[in-house]
């Protein structure tokens, strides 16, 4: 029996929730699940939102039991637009402060529907490792990391 890829399952659940939020914005940004941040961002229409697995899973021993492992799975949620990174933005892009606030409201200290093993999520602005000169960094306006924390089976 193949093991479940919980990181991908968490990413899919986060993408679904972010897609519901994105539908309320004008213009409606596309929500894209990506595997290769550096390679795929330059090809995504803007304004757009990407959802991607980042970093390795985190050990969360306080969530572990004798049958389950406590883990945290980090997922990047990023808003893309044209203009300068961390500066001027496209006039059609959503407000950056509102974007960050809405992502925090959607996930911080809340359960993640779709993945029953997740106890709650944490939202933070962890540093993202991207080449400052690369096309991916130039299109990224803002991002947050959603970490889904819970108990996951060892088998």
Identify the residue with better confidence: 96 or 58.
58
> Is 0.85 topped by the overall pTM?
yes
Average of per-residue pLDDT across 45-69: 92
The confidence score (pLDDT) of residue 26 equals 76
Give the residue among 111, 102, 121, 80 at the shortest CA–CA distance from 24: 102
pLDDT > 50? residue 47: yes
Asked if residues 31 and 18 have their Cβ atoms less than 8 Å apart, the reply is yes
Give the residue among 138, 137, 112 at the shortest CA–CA distance from 127: 137
The confidence score (pLDDT) of residue 153 equals 92
Summarised one tens digit per residue, pLDDT across range 21-45 is 998 887 778 889 999 888 888 788 8
User: Is beta strand 30-34 parallel, antiparallel or unpaired with respect to 68-80?
Assistant: unpaired
What the block records as the tokens of 43 is 């090809």
Rounded to whole angstroms, the Cα distance separating 133 from 63 reads 39
What the block records as the tokens of 45 is 């229409």
Summarised one tens digit per residue, pLDDT across range 71-101 is 999 999 999 887 554 555 556 667 788 889 9
Domain ranges of the chain: 6-153
| Helix and strand numbers, DSSP H then E, in the chain | 4, 6
Asked if residues 114 and 9 have their Cβ atoms less than 8 Å apart, the reply is yes
Taking residue 81's Cβ as centre, other Cβ atoms within 10 Å add up to 22
Summarised one tens digit per residue, pLDDT across range 109-132 is 999 998 999 999 999 987 776 777
The confidence score (pLDDT) of residue 84 equals 52
Evaluate whether the domain defined by 6-153 bears CATH number 3.40.50.2000: no
């Amino acid at each position: 029996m193949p093991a479940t890829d919980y990181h991908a399952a968490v990413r899919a659940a986060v993408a679904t929730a972010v897609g519901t939020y994105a539908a309320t914005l004008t213009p409606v940004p596309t929500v894209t699940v990506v595997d290769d941040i550096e390679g795929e961002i330059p090809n995504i229409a803007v304004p757009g939102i990407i959802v991607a697995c980042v970093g390795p899973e985190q050990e969360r021993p306080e969530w572990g039991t004798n049958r389950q492992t406590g883990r945290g799975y980090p997922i990047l949620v990023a808003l893309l637009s044209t203009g300068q990174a961390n500066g001027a933005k496209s006039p059609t892009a959503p407000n950056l402060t509102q974007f960050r606030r809405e992502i925090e409201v959607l996930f911080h200290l809340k359960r993640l529907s779709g993945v029953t093993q997740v106890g709650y999520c944490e939202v933070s602005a962890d540093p993202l490792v991207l080449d400052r000169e690369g096309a991916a960094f130039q299109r990224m306006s803002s991002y947050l990391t959603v970490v889904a924390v819970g108990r996951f089976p060892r088998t």
